[in-house]
Amino acid sequence: MIDIDYKNGIKILLDEYKDVLDEEIKKGLIWRYKIEDRKLSYEDQQGLLKDIIVQLLVQGRSAKGIETQLNNIKEIIGEWSIENIEKNLDSLGMSDRKIQRLTEILQHLKSSSIDDWIIELHEDNNHIPRMGLKSDDDFLKTHGFYEHIPVDRHTQRFLFRTGIIRWYLKRNNDDVLTLFAGAYEGKYRLFQKIVVAFCKKFCSDVYIQTPNGELRLAENPGILDIVIWRHCGENENLGCRNICGNRPKCNECVLKGACLWYILR
Ligand code: SF4
């Protein structure tokens, strides 16, 4: 059995991305406090509506070209208000399924409020309209709810390459086929479970300093996603370093000492 020092590896990885992590967490927590304290300004609410649109637009595709698409939408609708979005649903460039989801969310927001909806999303209330599994988690994580970890292809690839999946399956004596069989939701939840178990096992004493105190990674696995995305994402215009992308640049990778892929090279 190959023994990998994941704990040290994760600390090195977090340190490598410290600046961007500090900046994103600071922004995320400001959102979270405003949402939880019900202190969203009208502009904040518009910003959140725009973020919902972004999540739906990138669902099932890459974020490439999203900025241009948003600018075009903004030109058509003007302000990011519920009314303006409702009036221009056909101009958003979304599939019927996404428009249906958006319509249900907007209806809900009209009888509730966006902060209540986000809190319910965070508390896993299945009775409210949602964007979709990964979109919900990504939205929550972006707004400071780091208990949630979105799982995308970067995360999955990272988990496979580093051997974290191997560690999890071996520990539980699980069948590797469970990762490929079954419906999307079951697989998505399993990947999340693996990240959570990994953080609990190897990051129990890893803390992230924030302006309002420290956050324990074990309870806030979404923070790890910020780093994984920057490390593995290919879009350098969005701040990704493309180190562990489709062609891993292991020699440039700070995690190589704690990565099965590199150890087995
Ligand atoms: S060592 Fe290579 S495979 Fe492992 S995380 Fe780094 S880039 Fe990816």
Q: What is the DSSP letter of 210?
A: E
Q: Which of 104, 139, 103, 102 is nearest to 121 (CA)?
A: 139
- The per-residue pLDDT for 73 is 95
Cβ contact 6:164 at 8 Å: yes
Give the tokens for residue 239: 């701040």
Burial class (CB in 10 A: 0-12, 13-18, 19+), 78: exposed
pTM assigned to the model: 0.95
How far, in Å, from the CA of 111 to the mean position of ligand 1? 47
Residue 194 and residue 224 in contact, taking contact as beta carbons nearer than 8 Å: no
The reply to whether ligand 1 has any atom less than 6 angstroms from the CB of 248 is yes
Sequence spans of domains, the chain? 6-31+147-263, 37-142
Spacing, Cα 161 to ligand 1 middle (Å): 7
The values of phi and psi at residue 216, to 5°, are -90, 125
17: Cα separation from own chain's centroid: 16
pLDDT of residue 8: 96
Max intra-chain CA distance, the chain? 60
User: What atom in ligand 1 is closest to the CA of residue 232?
Assistant: 8
* 254 CA: nearest ligand 1 atom: 6
The model's pLDDT over 118-140, given as tens digits with 9 standing for 90+, comes to 999 999 878 999 999 999 999 99
Q: Comparing C-alpha atoms, which of 115, 103, 99 is closest to residue 40?
A: 115
> Which parts of the chain register pLDDT below 50?
none
pLDDT on residue 124 = 85
CB 135 within 8 A of CB 55: yes
Residue 257: which residues within 8 A CB-CB, separation 6 or more? 5, 8, 9, 12
What residue owns the CA closest to ligand 1's atom 4? 259
Cα 150 from Cα 134, distance rounded (Å): 5
Which two structure tokens, joined as six digits, stand for 28? 């995320």
Alpha carbons 221 and 130: distance in angstroms, whole number: 21
Specify the pLDDT at position 121. 97
Residue owning the nearest CA to atom 8 of ligand 1:
244
Cβ 261 under 6 angstroms from ligand 1: yes
Atom of ligand 1 nearest to the CA of 249: 7
- Comparing CA positions, the residue from 234, 251, 252 lying closest to residue 242 is 234
Residue 243 beta carbon below 6 angstroms from any ligand 1 atom: yes
Residue 253's contacts (CB-CB under 8 Å, 6 or more residues apart) are 231, 243, 244, 259, 262
